[in-house]
Amino acid sequence: MAITTADHRRWQYAAISVLAALTDAAPRDLSPITWRVATTAQLQGEPASGTRTERMTELREWAAYLGIELEARPGGDGLVTYYGRTERTARNGKSVTVSLHMRVWPDED
What pTM did the predictor assign?
0.90
pLDDT in tens, 4-54: 999 999 999 999 999 999 999 999 999 999 999 999 999 999 998 899 899
Q: What are the boundaries of each domain within the chain?
A: 5-104
78/37: higher pLDDT: 37
User: In whole angstroms, what is the distance from residue 40 CA to residue 46 CA?
Assistant: 18
| CB contact set of 81 (below 8 Å; sequence gap of 6+) | 72, 73, 75, 101, 102, 103
Burial 64-83 (b: 16+ CB within 10 A, else e): eebebebeeeeeeeeebebb
DSSP 3-state of 7: helix
* Whether 97 contacts 43, CB under 8 Å: yes
